[in-house]
Amino acid sequence: MTPPYTDYFKLGINHHLLFPAVTHDWDFHEKTLKELVQMDVFEVLDLFLPLEAERQRREVDIILASGKEVMYNPPLLGLTPGMNPHSADPQVYRRTVQEALAHMEAAHRAGAPKMNIASGPDPGPDERPAAKARFVQFLCELGRGAAEHGMQVLIEPFDRSIGKGFLIGPTAEAAEVVERVQQEGVNNVGLMLDMGHIPLLEEDIHRAFEISAPYLHHTHIGSCVKRDPNNEFYGDKHPPWGLEGGECDVPEVVEFFDAAFAVGYLRAGHRATVTLEMQPYPGLSADESIDIWLKKLDQAWSLYWSQDRPADYTV
């Protein structure tokens, strides 16, 4: 008998991938947030909040009234003009720290226990050691700020190739950075893992989970396009599962479950967080896309538990 996945994890949805226009339309941000909190299937919301005080207050009230758990995902500071979390320019670095801390305060107001953070542009092999040292410093500052609110900071690894081109980077190097931060006495910094980034990192999801396991506190499930430069979703643009030219569909979600159970991220008596992080299907609405994702998720979950599944789905 297949147990319900809710016995093992809390399902989330990413607000700004489901509704990409929210990144530049704050009225739409607030409107769609009100819609998302009504969807009972999602216990977790991955999102960021406006920094403008009055609008943020309204959105925080919406979230707190809903009882949803928030996983705070600020805008990628490494792609924000004038910001870089490991810049050699002290003014750019300090500006980035202050922006990250402002989002941390927003996360705290919304009751978020964790905030994801990413590195910035990869400066190339010669400059990586110095950039990593500055990124460790950045994470220590954020981690100490988060500790005041009882929060964690999670590094999200991104690719260095056809997507974001970020410093961090390989999963092993992300784990190394966490270790260095913890050696500085900051123990509330960990990792999150996004299955849609794994193909772009040229990594195996089982190995990525093994490396991440000691520090892993959140996951995203999705896809990417890496073989077709003419595809509108080419790179790290979070295409939906099963998109032609994409890397992930039901079989890869089964592999995600295999790997997550193998390292104990998913286990009995512990409800981890697993968030759908994809854009809608071209030509379909957010609701129509969610219906398809939930069907695919149910299919993958059933296949994971099936005693009759093909050998290439072996647990």
What pLDDT, in 10s, does the model give residues 102-124? 999 999 999 999 999 999 999 99
DSSP state of 19: S
User: How does pLDDT run across 165-199, given as a tens digit for each residue?
Assistant: 999 999 999 999 999 999 999 999 999 999 999 99
* Residues 6 or more apart in contact with residue 83 via CB below 8 angstroms: 77, 92, 95, 96, 99, 120
Summary mean pLDDT of the chain: 96
pLDDT of residue 187: 97
pTM: 0.94
Is residue 136 within 8 A of residue 177, CB to CB? The reply is: yes
pLDDT at 270: 93
Q: What is the pLDDT of residue 163?
A: 83
- Per the CB < 8 A criterion, the answer to whether 236 and 159 are in contact is yes
Taking alpha carbons only, the member of 71, 186, 74 closest to residue 139 is 186
Q: What pLDDT was estimated at residue 308?
A: 60
Burial class (CB in 10 A: 0-12, 13-18, 19+), 159: buried
75 has a pLDDT exceeding 70: yes
Q: What is the pLDDT of residues 122-135, one digit of tens each?
A: 999 999 999 999 99
What whole-number distance in Å separates Cα of residue 175 and Cα of residue 214? 9
- pLDDT band with cut points at 50, 70 and 90 for residue 313: very low
Superfamily of domain 15-303: Divalent-metal-dependent TIM barrel enzymes (3.20.20.150)
Per-residue pLDDT band for 315 (boundaries 50, 70, 90) equals very low
Q: Where are the domains of the chain?
A: 15-303
Name the band, by pLDDT with cuts 50, 70 and 90, for residue 307: low
41 and 5 in contact (C-beta within 8 Å)? no
Counting residues of the chain whose pLDDT is more than 90, the rounded percentage is 95
**pLDDT tens digit sequence for 266-288:** 999 899 999 999 999 999 999 99
User: Does pLDDT of 151 surpass 90?
Assistant: yes
Report percent pLDDT > 70 for the chain: 97
Predicted local distance difference test score (pLDDT) of residue 131: 98
When pLDDT is cut at 50, 70 and 90, the band that residue 1 belongs to is confident
Among residues 234, 262, 232, which one has the least CA distance to residue 247?
A: 234
